[in-house]
Amino acid sequence: MRKSVTMLVAAAMLLGVASTAMGAVGWCGNIWPVNNTPYTSAEEIGVYVQIWKEFVTDQPGQGDDIAAYLYYRCTGDPDFIEVPMIYWGDVGSNDEYQGIIPVGHGCDEVEFFVKVVDLTDMAECFGQDQHGNDPNFFLPITAVTAQDVTVKFYLCLTEGVETAGDVCVTGSGDPLTNWGDGVLMVFSCEAASPKLYEVEVLFPAGGNPFVEYKYKKDDCVTWESTGNHSFMIDDSGPTMDLAIDGWEWNTPDCPDCSSPVELSTWSTIKAIYR
């Protein structure tokens, strides 16, 4: 059942409790999406939070006596809508919970926060997002792309980085397999630059222009361990080339693919025309 919480009540909760309050629940956070992530009006918004409680969440399956709630509204509205979050799975020693902001919210910007409650003592925890931002969080609602755009990705496996097999790019949205297996990349110019990869990916019209992505190597098994790459699709034209990425945000050091220039001596040139 959906319930409304007044802005005054929500504000009092946020002021009265630290963003990672310590109760019987030891910690909560790693909220996704992070503050200022754009969505479109055609997308539902999945919100995730991780919770740690000693001897509870570090056991397999859902920990007992924990509840999580998502609160959202259109920025400027007086009331938040409460959504009970469901157990989504284990992430290491943490339990992860999910709540959904549905399509049809009608917002130009969504404001939200997450509350975790330890039911043994009713202690509350308000977590930070994955970038360390304190609540509340704001998600701009943007227009969808106006035309198909083919985006070219480039990855340089920087010095000291090797791969035992293929390299892929994966990320948000169907064109990048929704953080799945990924799209296989190929060599840009293997002879001149044997560690430079590329791939063209078609992003159809009507999608979210904000894209996040990561690379995987070793036959597309090993993920980058650093933060996501991201860009906004420029739909003013049908193609878009991204800058070369270095593996795990390292500065790219791969040679470029410029055509080699054949050097000839003057005597050689004269001999051609004798």
- Give me the pLDDT at residue 228, please: 94
Instruction: Indicate whether 270 pLDDT > 90.
Output: no
Q: Are 122 and 69 in contact (CB under 8 A)?
A: no
- Identity of the amino acid at 45: I
In this structure, the number of other CB atoms found within 10 A of the CB of residue 258 comes to: 9
- pLDDT tens for 121-146 read 999 999 999 999 999 999 999 999 99
Domains in the chain: boundaries = 3-142, 149-249
- pLDDT tens for 211-239 read 999 999 999 999 999 999 999 999 999 99
Structure tokens at 112: 């939200």
Alpha-carbon distance of 39 to 19, in angstroms, equals 25
Instruction: Indicate whether 208 pLDDT > 80.
Output: yes
Q: Are 206 and 145 in contact (CB under 8 A)?
A: yes
Instruction: Indicate whether 255 pLDDT > 90.
Output: yes
- pLDDT tens for 174-190 read 999 999 999 999 999 99
- Give me the pLDDT at residue 24, please: 76
CA 149 and chain centroid, separation: 20
In this structure, the number of other CB atoms found within 10 A of the CB of residue 77 comes to: 13
Among positive and negative, which fits the CA dihedral 244, 247, 248, 251? Answer: negative
Predicted confidence band of residue 77 (pLDDT cuts 50, 70, 90):
very high
Q: Give me the count of residues in the chain.
A: 274
- Give me the pLDDT at residue 258, please: 79
Which residues, 6 or more positions from 254, have their beta carbon under 8 angstroms from its beta carbon? 156, 157, 158, 193, 195, 196, 244
Q: Do domains 3-142 and 149-249 have the same CATH topology?
A: yes
Fold (topology level) of 3-142: Immunoglobulin-like (2.60.40)
Name the residue among 51, 64, 58 with its Cα closest to residue 20. 51
- pLDDT tens for 25-63 read 999 999 999 999 999 999 999 999 999 999 999 999 999
149-249 — its CATH code?
Answer: 2.60.40.10
Alpha-carbon distance of 227 to 75, in angstroms, equals 28
Instruction: Indicate whether 274 pLDDT > 90.
Output: no
Name the residue among 93, 1, 86 with its Cα closest to residue 46. 86
- pLDDT tens for 9-26 read 333 344 333 334 344 799
- pLDDT tens for 89-121 read 999 999 999 999 999 999 999 999 999 999 999
